Chain A
Amino acid sequence: MKHFYFVILLLFTAPSIAQNRNPLTTDSLEQFQSPSFPAGSILGIQANEISQPKSLEALKLSVLNNFLDSNNNFAMPDNYAIEISPFMLSRRKNFNYATYIDPNFKQNFWQNLSFSIAATNQFIINDTTKTNAFSFGFRTLLLNGHAYKDDADTYRKLLNSNDRYSADKARIMVQMAYYAMEQGDSFKLNFDSLSTYLNRELPDSVKTFLPEILASMRTDTVFQKTITTADLNTAFEAAFDQATDRDTRVQKAVTMTQTIRNERYGFRVELNGAMGLNFPTNEFEYSIIPRSGLWLTAGYTPRTKHQENGQKVVDGVSNFDFLCLARYIWTNDQFVRTYAPVDSSFSQVNDVFDIGFRINYKYQKFSAGAEGIYRQSLGDQSQNTYKLNLNLNYELRNNIILTYNFGKNYNSFGSQGDLVSTLSLNFGLMSLTYKDLKNAASKL
């Protein structure tokens, strides 16, 4: 038990230490959300089943279940879930603001793909036998809504402008380097000859600043003696950056990135899949897959407009968002008949089709959600059932959320009742930060 207290203490204090070291690197770009792991859902250890579209954390950890036992003593939790994002743990090749705010389908799929594992040592079968069970899940976003239009448009213009300058700079220098190569390893630069060469080889579209750049280079004392290609490269860069006011352009992009708003609006669609694994005899050699599932969660977050400083109408995102679920679950009926798992979500012996709806509300550090799921048995219609759940979340601090669930579970043929009442703690680690994205984009 001491070890558990120590782990909890460590998890609470570690983010604090990191923030003190470098606030910029821990300024999470996306708000950490309440827990929703596909793996936890298929195993029946997660109260809320309709997940909000995932946020970009490299690693999420959830301790599910009550912290108090029946005597109100602090109890070791029985259920755990962890979710990792391969992309967030990778080197994030070619990832920048453009691929974050306006990803194509492939980027969306890969950036948001995550895998989860849930485990419980309280998977009860045959009324009283406690067994171990695991589940494995995945999820990713197929549609990811839209970022704030104002931000995206302004950013797009600035970054496109910067990209054009970078492209022109590289194109001019390529021609200068070929000119230098023709002159030999070291040479005395003839500006008139260089100017004629560049005007002949370069298209008009990149010549805008050429006279100013060459005039500036003429004043550089390095050209009073024999030079190399490296000297030419250095002098050209200084002249180009001065002529195009690079410092101001870069500073604008830095400032804009720091003030970007991260909420997204519109339609988001998430694909989920999961498979459970039970060890009914608690022996490693003997395991059974009780069930597996595949489902889609579609969400819609309305876009709003409001007055800012009494004048400007600004795009915003509603505090409400709406989600619906369509899920197919394959059930191993032989497992259910043989071992009679107590958890009411396993009450069906047939495959089931779930349809659900969820509404979320968020205000500052508090959020709440209510969901209902109708479960249709694809064999015996009399086994149709439903589930209702109220979900309350409070963000204790950055990336740590305390969650309480209360509701009615699916009808059960077991004797455990259908009341849901759980408290859980959720940790988001290594989330996406401003520093990860404070980069100009080249593909908007």
Chain B
Amino acid sequence: MGAYTEKIDKNVLVLSDKGKNLVKIKMDCFNGATAKLSFISPMHAPVMSCGDTVVIDTVQSLKSKGTIIFVMDAENYSEQTSKVTFTIYEEGGNTLTYEFPKNYTGTPAIVANDSSPFLTFFCKFT
């Protein structure tokens, strides 16, 4: 069980110039983990679950905001390592995949086999 914070410039998604395009996020959980993910957006409910895909915002809006903060709280009662993938993509555009704990480079270092990670990470939209 640890609280992890990813580097702010770790995840960058380059968006197109089609301002009305939607940018979405999908969260998938593995090894039996369950998780809740929260971020602030006017276009969706404040919390999403494993397997959900939701709209983050439009390209135009995200370019003006710059960075979106995401916070995930995961549980895994089997005490297996919680593994969660986040796929952030522009419809018809680029895709960014961030996998925890595999791609984590933040502070503090990962506790081995953490079943209940609490993760804050960022995505910069340019």
Chain A interface residues (CB < 8 Å from chain B): 91-96, 162-163, 166-167, 169-171, 173-175, 177-178, 181, 228-230, 233-234, 236-238, 241, 250, 253-254, 257, 435-443
Contact = CB atoms under 8 A, between A and B. Distances in A.
B50 A94 contact: yes
A233 B120 contact: yes
Contact of B46 (A91, A171, A177, A178): A171
A237 B118 CA distance: 8
B: contact size bracket: 35 or more
A181 to B, nearest CB: 7
Contacts of B40: 174-175, 178
Contact of B77 (A174, A175, A439): A439
A236 B4 CA distance: 11
A95 B32 contact: yes
Contact of B108 (A169, A230, A442): A230
A174 B38 contact: yes
Interface stretch (B10-18, B55-63, B65-73, B91-99): B65-73
Contacts of B5: 228-230, 233
B29 A93 contact: yes
B106 A230 contact: yes
Nearest to B7: A230
Interface string B23-44: 0000011101111111110000
Tell me the dominant secondary structure on chain A's binding face. Answer: helix
A167 B29 contact: no
Given A96-B50, A178-B40, A438 B32 contact: yes
B81 interface: no
B94 to A, nearest CB: 23
B28 A93 contact: yes
B40 to A, nearest CB: 6
A435 B76 CA distance: 10
Nearest to A252: B77
Lowest 7 CB-CB distances: which A-B pairs, in order?
A: A170-B38, A230-B5, A439-B32, A237-B3, A94-B51, A438-B78, A166-B73
Given A163-B36, A174-B38, A237-B118, A443 B77 contact: no
Contacts of B49: 163, 442-443
Contacts of B90: none
Interface string B98-126: 00000000111000000010101000000
Contacts of A167: 36, 38, 46-47, 73
Nearest to B80: A435
A138 B70 CA distance: 42
B50 A442 contact: yes
A250 to B, nearest CB: 7
Given A181-B69, A236-B3, A439-B32, A171 B47 contact: yes
Given A93-B30, A442-B35, A170 B78 contact: no
A94 B29 CA distance: 5
B30 A170 contact: no
10 contacts: A96-B50, A167-B47, A170-B72, A181-B67, A234-B3, A238-B3, A257-B77, A435-B78, A436-B32, A442-B34
A436 B37 CA distance: 22
Given A233-B4, A250-B77, 16 more contacts: A94-B50, A162-B75, A166-B36, A167-B47, A170-B38, A174-B39, A177-B69, A230-B5, A230-B120, A233-B5, A236-B3, A250-B75, A437-B78, A438-B32, A439-B76, A440-B34
Contacts of B77: 250, 253-254, 257, 438-440
Contacts of A91: 30
Interface centre among A169, A177, A228 (most CB of B within 10 A): A177
Contact of A166 (B69, B70, B75): B75
A95 B33 CA distance: 8
A213 to B, nearest CB: 13
Nearest to B37: A170
Nearest to B117: A237
A171 to B, nearest CB: 5
B32 to A, nearest CB: 4
Given A171-B46, A177-B69, A250-B77, A439 B34 contact: yes
B42 to A, nearest CB: 14
Contacts of A441: 34
A98 to B, nearest CB: 8
Nearest to A169: B73
A434 to B, nearest CB: 8
B30 A92 contact: yes
A93 B53 CA distance: 14
A91 B29 CA distance: 10
A230 B4 CA distance: 7
A419 to B, nearest CB: 49
A234 B78 contact: no
A374 B50 CA distance: 47
B73 A233 contact: no
A349 to B, nearest CB: 50
B71 A173 contact: yes
Contacts of B34: 96, 163, 439-442
A233 B8 CA distance: 14
Nearest to B50: A94
